């Protein structure tokens, strides 16, 4: 095979996909195009851009060259056809659902999700008339039972936050295909380094770029990746994609843009009108972070497994939920979906209950006590006294945030230092 035909490896794509030296200045790093708008060549050029007859830049709310590098890079890593970067992971979910759902429509979601997504789906989405139906990822048939004529999508996380549990993607993807709806996977905790959901049937992948892709806890962002696998015209269920758009002289987006029509629809209908644009500066920081993604994720996984092993035999610890542990109920799924490692996030149950959780977060020194994951630094939170404080004990336990639970996001420091800090905190 000639070099020109060679498909670059993952580590190479993480550094080079979407980027090349700036043609005007020769700058090797992608410039931060800190501009609101762009000059047109002439009136005809402007008209062709606004009519979707040509690709190019109009206004940074709709697209920006720095953001475009990030979009192309993550799409290449996920094996998708196109991407759209937006202001946050929550914004990505809003744009995806706004493109798919009409008032009164339903979507099915896994019960094992980030608490912020559960809130968004249960409450904010109801204002749009979009209704969530919950299914249990430990009972795959619950997804099939939840399908109705109103179902327009199925949504899961590949590795669920906060417990580090692994979702059985393939059979849920098969249920989505049988129902004729897109399968959406939030791949934030795994990243494409550990898992590529498109290989297991995902039609759309979303990320909070804030977490492992950016990796340094310095920027908020989200991204939508179009797998190019779904036939948006087949059952005429998705009018944004399969019906003429009056804003664009009657163009039918799926007919015009084919296997990247969903990403286009999210950009020229969702992002254009709802407006959660990613700043070029954040796109620059996140793209730079992705260059070290393979190195960081392997270190996160190696450290997390060592920490989980240590905690599983600690006298102060009742249980550890981490799919990478040999005895964990999700270990078989982890070997299938995330063979290189199960990520950095785990939950731990402390024998001393609520008081022990509060003491642990108060006594650790290397760990930072805050509400984030996916940083180079090790992070800790006690959900029952913070993010889930307003719930009853029964509600906390159902949400996986019982009084005894502590969530850890293991960083890339020396693992002996991470373990020593947890040990002294647990003994304090």
- Say if residue 163 is in the same domain as residue 44: yes
- Which residue, of 269, 290, 311, is where some domain finishes? 290
Q: What CATH number is associated with residue 27?
A: 3.40.640.10
DSSP β-ladder status, 159-160 and 379-381: unpaired
- Say if residue 286 is in the same domain as residue 311: no
- Say if residue 349 is in the same domain as residue 327: yes
pLDDT tens track for 60-73: 999 999 999 999 99
Task: Using the predicted structure, report yes or no on whether residue 3 has a pLDDT greater than 80.
Answer: no
What helix, strand, coil percent values describe the chain, rounded to 5?
45, 15, 40
Neighbours of 85 (CB within 10 A): 32
Nearest to 206 by CA among 153, 243, 143, 257: 153
Task: Using the predicted structure, report yes or no on whether residue 230 has a pLDDT greater than 50.
Answer: yes
Task: Using the predicted structure, report yes or no on whether residue 278 has a pLDDT greater than 90.
Answer: yes
- Say if residue 284 is in the same domain as residue 392: no
Domain containing 261 equals 10-290
pLDDT on residue 103: 98
With 0-12 / 13-18 / 19 or more C-beta atoms within 10 angstroms meaning exposed / middle / buried, residue 193 is buried
With 0-12 / 13-18 / 19 or more C-beta atoms within 10 angstroms meaning exposed / middle / buried, residue 31 is middle
Region 196-211 average pLDDT: 98
pLDDT tens track for 81-137: 999 999 999 999 999 999 999 999 999 999 999 888 999 999 999 999 999 999 999
Where does the pLDDT of residue 383 fall: very low under 50, low under 70, confident under 90, or very high at 90 and above?
Answer: confident
In a domain, 283, yes or no: yes
- Say if residue 19 is in the same domain as residue 105: yes
In a domain, 2, yes or no: no
- Say if residue 210 is in the same domain as residue 299: no
In a domain, 5, yes or no: no
- Say if residue 310 is in the same domain as residue 285: no
pLDDT on residue 193: 98
> What is the phi/psi pair of residue 349, to 5°?
-100, 125
- Which residue, of 255, 290, 325, is where some domain finishes? 290
Distance between CA atoms of residues 174 and 143, nearest Å: 10
- Say if residue 377 is in the same domain as residue 269: no
Where does the pLDDT of residue 2 fall: very low under 50, low under 70, confident under 90, or very high at 90 and above?
Answer: very low
Distance between CA atoms of residues 54 and 61, nearest Å: 18
Region 289-294 average pLDDT: 98
In a domain, 75, yes or no: yes
Neighbours of 323 (CB within 10 A): 25
DSSP state of 351: T
Neighbours of 392 (CB within 10 A): 9
Where does the pLDDT of residue 1 fall: very low under 50, low under 70, confident under 90, or very high at 90 and above?
Answer: very low
Domain count, the chain: 2
Nearest to 269 by CA among 89, 84, 57, 95: 95
Specify which residues 160 forms β-bridges with: 165
In a domain, 4, yes or no: no
In a domain, 158, yes or no: yes
Region 74-80 average pLDDT: 98
Nearest to 89 by CA among 276, 267, 281: 276
In a domain, 103, yes or no: yes
pLDDT on residue 110: 96
Mean pLDDT of the chain: 95
Q: What CATH number is associated with residue 409?
A: 3.90.1150.10
pTM for the predicted model, two decimal places: 0.96
pLDDT on residue 221: 98
- Say if residue 54 is in the same domain as residue 166: yes
> What is the phi/psi pair of residue 128, to 5°?
-90, -5
- Say if residue 304 is in the same domain as residue 282: no
Which residue did the predictor score with more confidence, 32 or 388? 32
- Say if residue 143 is in the same domain as residue 17: yes
Region 249-255 average pLDDT: 97
- Say if residue 277 is in the same domain as residue 308: no
Task: Using the predicted structure, report yes or no on whether residue 387 has a pLDDT greater than 80.
Answer: no
Contacts for 316 with CB less than 8 Å, ≥ 6 apart? 350, 351, 352, 356, 426, 427
Where does the pLDDT of residue 400 fall: very low under 50, low under 70, confident under 90, or very high at 90 and above?
Answer: confident
- Which residue, of 262, 290, 318, is where some domain finishes? 290
């Amino acid at each position: 095979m000639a070099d020109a035909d060679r498909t670059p490896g993952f580590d190479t794509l993480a550094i080079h996909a979407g980027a090349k030296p700036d043609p005007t200045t020769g700058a090797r790093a992608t410039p931060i195009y800190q501009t609101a708008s762009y000059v047109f060549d002439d009136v005809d050029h402007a008209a062709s851009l606004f009519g979707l007859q040509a690709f190019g830049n109009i206004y940074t709310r709709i697209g920006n060259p720095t953001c475009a590098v990030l979009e192309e890079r993550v799409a290449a890593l996920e094996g998708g056809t196109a991407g759209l970067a937006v202001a946050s992971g929550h914004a990505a979910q809003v744009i995806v659902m706004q493109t798919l759902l009409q008032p009164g429509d339903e979507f099915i979601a896994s019960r094992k999700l980030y608490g912020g997504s559960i809130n968004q789906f249960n409450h904010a989405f109801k204002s749009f008339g979009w209704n969530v139906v919950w299914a249990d990822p430990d009972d795959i048939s619950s997804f099939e039972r939840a399908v109705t004529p109103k179902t327009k999508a199925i949504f899961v996380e590949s590795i669920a936050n906060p417990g580090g549990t692994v979702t059985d993607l393939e059979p849920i993807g098969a249920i989505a295909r049988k129902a004729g709806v897109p399968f959406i996977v939030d791949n934030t905790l795994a990243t494409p380094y550990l898992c590529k959901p498109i290989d297991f049937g995902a039609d759309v992948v979303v990320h909070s770029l804030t977490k492992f892709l950016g990796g340094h806890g310095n920027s908020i962002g989200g991204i939508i990746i179009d797998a190019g696998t779904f036939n948006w015209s087949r059952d005429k269920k998705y009018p944004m994609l399969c019906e003429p758009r009056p804003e664009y002289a009657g163009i039918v987006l799926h007919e015009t843009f084919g296997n990247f029509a969903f990403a286009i629809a999210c950009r020229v209908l969702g992002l254009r009108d709802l407006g959660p644009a990613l700043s070029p500066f954040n796109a620059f920081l996140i793209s730079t972070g992705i260059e070290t993604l393979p190195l960081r994720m392997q270190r996160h996984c190696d450290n997390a497994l060592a920490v989980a092993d240590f905690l599983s035999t600690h006298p102060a610890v009742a249980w550890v939920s981490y799919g990478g542990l040999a005895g964990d109920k999700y270990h078989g799924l982890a070997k299938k979906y995330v063979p290189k490692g199960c990520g950095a996030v785990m939950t731990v149950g402390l024998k001393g209950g609520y008081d022990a959780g509060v003491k642990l977060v108060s006594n650790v020194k290397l760990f930072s006590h805050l509400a984030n994951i996916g940083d180079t630094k090790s992070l800790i939170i006690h959900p029952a006294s913070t993010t889930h404080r307003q719930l009853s004990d029964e509600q906390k336990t159902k949400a996986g945030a019982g009084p005894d639970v502590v969530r850890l996001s293991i960083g890339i420091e020396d693992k002996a230092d991470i373990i020593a800090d947890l040990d002294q905190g647990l003994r304090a």
